[in-house]
Amino acid sequence: DAGITQSPRHKVTETGTPVTLRCHQTENHRYMYWYRQDPGHGLRLIHYSYGVKDTDKGEVSDGYSVSRSKTEDFLLTLESATSSQTSVYFCASETGQGEAFFGQGTRLTVV
Amino acid sequence: SQQGEEDPQALSIQEGENATMNCSYKTSINNLQWYRQNSGRGLVHLILIRSNEREKHSGRLRVTLDTSKKSSSLLITASRAADTASYFCATDVGTNAGKSTFGDGTTLTVKP
């Protein structure tokens, strides 16, 4: 699992509250990514980062923001959680040479 | 819109048999990757094949790529119960593997 951890692993939150998920990697990888995975589907890219303070939007970025103040940490914030954001969130990192390493996922439930 | 689509959606075989999964995609790619996901876990990288390669092997895994047909296949030989998982193909058109577009996966069940 290549030194990439996500926290928390599970979270239940109420509609309208802000939520921050954390991804931490110890591989000194330049690139980091946040995905969401909904039941029976593959991963969809939310945001990604190609370096400290360099981030960009992915396919499903609405309602999400990210920050990367250090190489090892990539934070995903749901500004005002909605039920449609109930999902499993995965973080990944890579060196840029072709192989991405994934965290174990965060199961988020918005009630 | 989805770039990679796996076929079949579900596959059930007996231990010892071979399992073949296919992936089709729509636009030209730089790389194609296959990942495995065990239930409730993160994705594990299996193989990356570049657009100028036609076949790659890794242990019991064999991946082929046909860019003219925009398709790839993953063959698992002599399957084991531990191979039970979902398998995803991911295609990327740039240089970053993490920006790949994932299909919905093939769920493989290997019966002991």
The pLDDT tens digits along chain B (112 residues) read 456 788 899 999 999 999 999 999 988 888 899 999 998 888 999 999 999 999 999 999 999 999 999 999 999 999 999 999 999 998 886 655 567 788 889 999 999 9
Give the up-direction half-sphere exposure of residue A31: CA atoms within 13 A in the CB hemisphere.
20
Stretch A66-85: mean pLDDT = 97
Q: Do A48 and B99 touch (CB under 8 A)?
A: yes
* Domain residue limits, chain A: 4-110
Residues whose CB falls within 8 Å of the CB of residue B28, separated by 6 or more in sequence, listed in order:
B51, B67, B93
Instruction: List the single best residue of A50, A99, A106, A107 to mutate versus B (max B Cβ within 10 A).
Output: A99
Backbone phi and psi for residue A85, each to the nearest 5 degrees, phi listed first: -95, 0
Beta-carbon separation of A96 and B42 below 8 A: no
Query: How is domain A4-110 classified at the CATH fold level?
Result: Immunoglobulin-like (2.60.40)
Q: What is the CATH number of the domain that holds B89?
A: 2.60.40.10
Quick one: pLDDT at residue B5? 83
**Contacts (Cβ under 8 Å, ≥6 apart) of A96:** A30, A31, B95, B96
Which of A26-30, A31-35, B7-11, B100-104 is least confident?
B100-104
* Number of domains, chain B: 1
Is B91 within 8 Å of chain A by CB?
no
CB contact under 8 A, B99 and A33: yes
Question: Tokens for B99?
Answer: 């920006």
Is the CB of A102 less than 8 angstroms away from the CB of B102? no
Domain that holds residue B92: 5-111
pLDDT of residue B95: 57
Q: What 3-state class would DSSP assign to A1?
A: coil
Cα A25 to Cα A21, A74, A107, distances in angstroms: 14, 9, 19
